[in-house]
A and B are shown apart, each in its own frame.
Chain A
Amino acid sequence: MSLNEFWDYLVLGVVLGSIYAVIAIGYTLVYGVLQLINFAHSEVFMLGAYGGLISLTIIAPGDSPSALASVGYVALGLAAGGLFGAVTAYGLEKVAYRPLRRRGAPRLIFLITAIGASFFLYNLAGKLFGRDPLPMPDAYENKKVFTLFGADLNVTQLLLLGAAVVMMIGLDLMVNRTKLGSGIRAVSQDAEVAGLMGVDIDKVISRTFVIGGVLGGAAGYLYGTFTQVKFDMGFIPGITAFAAAVVGGIGNIRGAMLGGMMLGIVETLTVPVFGGEWRHVGAFVVLIGVLMFRPTGILGERVGRTA
């Protein structure tokens, strides 16, 4: 592999990694406040993609919309994706997890509920929207924008990267600088004490789900634009993003971003070196490698200490 080719694949890896990173944040946030792996998060992602699809189908973009209109359509797709994601995540917390929390159910029950909710949601989507993949309506013409050290970047790739970076920076600021952010950090450090200090734990948890849902749903729209929309599309990116969250240190937001990027890049580089059938092997070897030397992930656990 020449240096030029390496650069090509690296760029592709960063693009894929940015998607993984945004999804991974959803896992890590919820883990932070609940110590729960929300396996249904992959369905939040999937339903976000359908949200974008539905809104763009209703307000259908023409064949080649103007630049300004394109921006509007993308914004609409992201907003609809985020909304669907948020509603799904909020509903999940309310219906699936809160009753368990009230009764003080053991951890394992939460996990099984998460898996069950995931099954339910993706089969429901299959029933509602059909099991055939659907194309995401093009909100813009996917042209090559510029060449960076020999690697071509097109609109979709730039959009993915840009949106992911904006979302990550926004989230980081929110968690570190706002009142809700300190609430989230407080609950994840010690929920009981946070409650005694006057933090409304239920509210914080519910909002954490919504934030993760917005990010996951918007990422779903982006990923749908990148490939296509299907009822089981959440599964593989979901599992990979979960692994990414663990690599970075579960519960650690910046860790999730780092882990997502890393897995995206490793997966993509595995393809030219070992072949397409080895991509997940590459990613999971990294996961195991990291956990052997740093069992709590690269940046360590905990949402409270973001870096």
Chain B
Amino acid sequence: MLNKTIVKVAIPVVIGALALTGCAGDSEAGDGGSYKIAFQGPLSGDNTALGENEDKGVRLAIDQANAKGDLPFKLEYLPVDDQGLPEKATAAAQKAIDDPDVMAVVGPAFSGPTNSAAPLFGDAGLTALSASATNPTLTEQGFKTFLRGVPNDSAQGAGMATYYAKKLKAKTVYLVDDKSDYGVGLATVAEKELKAAGVKVIKKSVPAKTPDYSAAAKEVVNSKADALIYAGYYQDGAPFAKKLDEAGYKGAAISGDGTNDVKFIELAGKATEGWYLTCPCTDANVESATKEFTAEYKKKFKVNPGTYSAEAYDLANMIIQEMKKLGDKVDRQSLHQALQKATYKGLTKEFSFDDKGELKIQNVYLYQVKDGKIEYQGAIEELAGS
């Protein structure tokens, strides 16, 4: 009996130990060994465009680091696809976690997936460093290893409000959200800030995938509001913009990073002319600091960098910088501690995190659609003159 029990316990223990040493052997290969940086985001499905922007940024950073040849190890890349969906995020995260060579993850790209995947990353001690998950509540939940390399939606909502109140001196702002987590979060902050600045706000919801935006657009016109905020994504922002144009809306219009995509213009054409778009991201195609990056990116992928490409590139480089410092002794835990405390001067901004994992500097930038192109205007705080 006793023997049997021992055997019962011993076998799994031995197997477990073997498995562990097997893993350890892989990752502690030392000189000439290899580590991986993963990226989690939508690489298929509805929101592929955004995921691919970041995927390419990370890919470029890793290739450049390897080419430079001063790393004490070889870097590899592991993309995992969550389709931007919370229910697919756990499986995708698990894939990165199960690979013992993965030292850190850039991502998840979206807020919903971050919410479901971050606890898993926390338990595995694997750092998740997102370039674009902007929902403000993500850093309030005590995720152990989540760092946010992007200003959250509060910053964007506040930026829109500042611009309308101080620069355009809007009297009545018509605020529409799309009922998504992202849209409602953005709208709530904007409403609060606008009211604080003494601007009248009319707040409405028009859920995403509404079959016809004509009536909603008519309402905006009838309300006599002189400015509009649309808190949602371009898939719905585009038909809405089209119908606003048809309804004869002449006021200002602004939307956030969910709409800040060339697809917005492709879909709604001339109706988007003059729309303001905000983003916590700088335009890699315009900012002088990112010129070299843009050239390299274009050379490698034959396309211009998109929204969040440069941010993802920066974050991957930040991880590489810290891994380099740790040398071949790097493991998940030490890397997380290092990243939490690190400061990295990237192309787009300076990255450093507070205790909750929130980015310390929260700048938001303004863009405007002019002649069918999204043109960079500058940092909102500077434009609004405060």
Contact = CB atoms under 8 A, between A and B. Distances in A.
Interface of A: 5, 8-9, 12-13, 15-16, 131-135, 138, 142, 152, 154, 156, 226-228, 230, 232, 236-237, 240, 267-269, 271-272, 275-277, 279
Name, among A5, A133, A138, A230, the residue most crowded by chain B CB atoms within 10 Å (CB to CB): A133
B48 A275 contact: no
A133 B179 contact: no
Contacts of B209: 232, 236
20 contacts: A5-B218, A8-B218, A12-B212, A15-B214, A16-B214, A132-B263, A133-B267, A134-B267, A142-B246, A227-B212, A227-B239, A237-B211, A268-B212, A268-B214, A272-B219, A276-B176, A276-B216, A277-B206, A277-B207, A279-B210
Interface in B201-250: 204-207, 209-216, 218-219, 222, 235, 238-239, 242, 246-248
A277 B246 contact: no
A135 B269 contact: yes
Contacts of A133: 235, 238, 263, 267
Q: DSSP class of B's interface residues: helix, strand, loop or mixed?
A: helix
Given A132-B235, A230-B235, A276-B210, 18 more contacts: A8-B218, A8-B222, A12-B214, A131-B46, A132-B48, A132-B49, A133-B267, A134-B267, A135-B267, A138-B269, A154-B246, A228-B238, A237-B211, A272-B218, A276-B215, A276-B216, A277-B205, A277-B207
A8 B219 CA distance: 10
A15 B212 CA distance: 10
Given A227-B242, A230-B235, A12 B207 contact: no
Interface residues on B, range: 20 to 34
Q: Which 9 residue pairs of A and B lie closest in terms of their CB atoms, listed nearest first?
A: A276-B206, A271-B215, A12-B214, A227-B239, A268-B215, A277-B205, A135-B267, A236-B211, A16-B212
B45 interface: yes
Interface string B72-83: 000000000000
Given A131-B46, A131-B48, A142-B246, A277 B179 contact: yes
B271 to A, nearest CB: 9
Contacts of A8: 218, 222
Given A16-B212, A135-B267, A135-B269, A5 B222 contact: yes
Contacts of B123: none
Nearest to A141: B270
A8 B247 CA distance: 10
Contacts of B216: 271, 276
A9 B46 contact: no
B355 interface: no
Nearest to A155: B246
Q: DSSP class of A's interface residues: helix, strand, loop or mixed?
A: helix
Contacts of B246: 142, 154, 156
Contacts of B31: none
A231 B233 CA distance: 17
A267 B268 CA distance: 23
B266 interface: yes
A242 B204 CA distance: 28
Contacts of B206: 276-277
A154 B235 CA distance: 23
A240 B210 CA distance: 12
Nearest to A240: B211
Interface in B258-307: 263, 266-269
A227 B208 CA distance: 13
Interface string B46-84: 101100000000000000000000000000000000000
Contacts of A9: 215, 218
Nearest to A154: B246
A284 B267 CA distance: 30
Interface in B176-219: 176, 179, 204-207, 209-216, 218-219
Nearest to B209: A236
Contacts of A228: 238-239, 267
Contacts of A240: 211
Name, among B210, B211, B268, the residue most crowded by chain A CB atoms within 10 Å (CB to CB): B211
A272 B219 CA distance: 6
A152 to B, nearest CB: 7
B264 to A, nearest CB: 10
Nearest to B217: A12
Nearest to A277: B205
B285 to A, nearest CB: 21
Nearest to A138: B269
B340 to A, nearest CB: 37
A267 B214 CA distance: 11
Name, among A131, A232, A275, the residue most crowded by chain B CB atoms within 10 Å (CB to CB): A131
A154 B222 CA distance: 18
